[in-house]
Amino acid sequence: MTLIATEKTDARRTAVQSAGENPASATSPADSPSAAALNAGTGTVVPPAPSAPPSQPAPALKQAPAVTAQIPKPAPSEPEPSGAARTQAAPPPAFYTKDLSVFYGEKQAIKQVSMAFPDRQVVALIGPSGCGKSTFLRSLNRMNDLIPGASIEGEIWIGGHNICDPKTDVVRLRQKIGMVWQRPNPFHKSIYENVAFGPRYHGVKSKAALDELVEECLRKTALWDEVKDRLHQSGLALSGGQQQRLCIARSIAVKPDILLMDEPASALDPVSTAKVEELTAELKRDYTIVIVTHNMHQAARVSDKTAFFFLGDLVEYDETNKIFTNPSRKSTDDYISGRFG
Amino acid sequence: MKTKSVDRIMTGVIVGVGFLIIALLAALLGYLLIRGLGHVSWHFLTSPPESIRAGGGIGPQLFNSLFLLVLTMIITVPLGLGAGIYMSEYAKQNRLTAFIRLIVEVLSSFPSIVVGLFGLLVIVNRFGLGLSLMSGALALTVFNLPLMVRITEQALRAVPREQKEAGLALGLSRWRTITTVMLPISLPAIVTGTILAAGRVFGEAAALLFTAGMSSPRLDFTDWNPLHHTSPLNPFRPAETLAVHIWKVNSEGLAPDAAQIAAGASAVLIITVLVFNLGARWLGRVLYRKLTAGR
**Cα angle B71, B75, B77; round to 5:** 110
Q: Are B195 and B201 in contact (CB under 8 A)?
A: no
Q: Which of B155, B168, B242 is nearest to B204 (CA)?
A: B242
Per CB-CB distance under 8 Å, the chain A contacts of B293 are: 188-190, 193, 232-235
pLDDT digits (tens, 9 = 90+) for A122-134: 999 998 888 888 8
Q: Are A301 and A3 in contact (CB under 8 A)?
A: yes
Judged against a pLDDT cut of 70, whether residue A74 lies above it is answered with: no
- On whether any CB of chain B is under 8 Å from the CB of A202, the answer is yes
The pLDDT value recorded for residue B287 is: 79
Question: Between the CA of residue B94 and those of A335, B97, B101, B221, what are the distances in Å?
Answer: 41, 6, 11, 52
- Decide which of B130 and B159 is more confident: B159
The pLDDT value recorded for residue A36 is: 40
pTM of the model: 0.73
Judged against a pLDDT cut of 80, whether residue A212 lies above it is answered with: yes
The pLDDT value recorded for residue A137 is: 92
Separation of first and last alpha carbons in chain B: 43
Q: Where are the alpha helices (DSSP H) in B38-94?
A: 42-46, 59-85
Judged against a pLDDT cut of 90, whether residue B277 lies above it is answered with: no
Looking at chain B, the number of H-run helices and the number of E-run strands are 12, 0
User: What SS3 state is found at B287?
Assistant: helix
Range B30-51 burial, b when 16+ CB lie within 10 A, else e: eebbebbeebbeeebeeeebbe
CB contact (8 A) between residue A201 and residue B168? no
For B:20-79, CB contacts with A below 8 A are: none
Amino acid, single-letter form, for residue A28: S
Amino acid, single-letter form, for residue A110: I
Amino acid, single-letter form, for residue B138: L
Which of these ranges, A77-86, A216-225, A312-321, B118-127, has the smallest mean pLDDT? A77-86
Judged against a pLDDT cut of 70, whether residue B185 lies above it is answered with: yes
Q: Which of B73, B40, B105, B22 is nearest to B257 (CA)?
A: B40
As a whole number of angstroms, the distance between CA B170 and CA A199 comes to 9
pLDDT band of residue A87 (cuts 50, 70, 90) is: very low
Per CB-CB distance under 8 Å, the chain A contacts of B171 are: 171-176, 198, 201-202, 254
- Would you list the DSSP string of A114-158? EEEEETT-EEEEE-STTSSHHHHHHHTTTGGGGSTTEEEEEEEEE
Question: Between the CA of residue A1 and those of A5, A197, A271, B277, what are the distances in Å?
Answer: 7, 40, 20, 63
How far B291 CA sits from the closest chain A CA (Å)?
7
Per CB-CB distance under 8 Å, the chain B contacts of A179 are: 165-166, 169
How far A247 CA sits from the closest chain B CA (Å)?
9
Judged against a pLDDT cut of 50, whether residue A46 lies above it is answered with: no
A143 → closest Cβ in B160, B169, B292: B169
Please tell me which residue of chain A has the smallest CA distance to B183: A188
Q: Which of A168, A139, A124, A155 is nearest to A263 (CA)?
A: A124
pLDDT digits (tens, 9 = 90+) for B7-26: 999 999 999 999 999 999 99
Question: Between the CA of residue A91 and those of A34, A37, A43, what are the distances in Å?
Answer: 9, 10, 9
HSE, CB side, 13 Å, CA atoms: give it for residue B136: 33
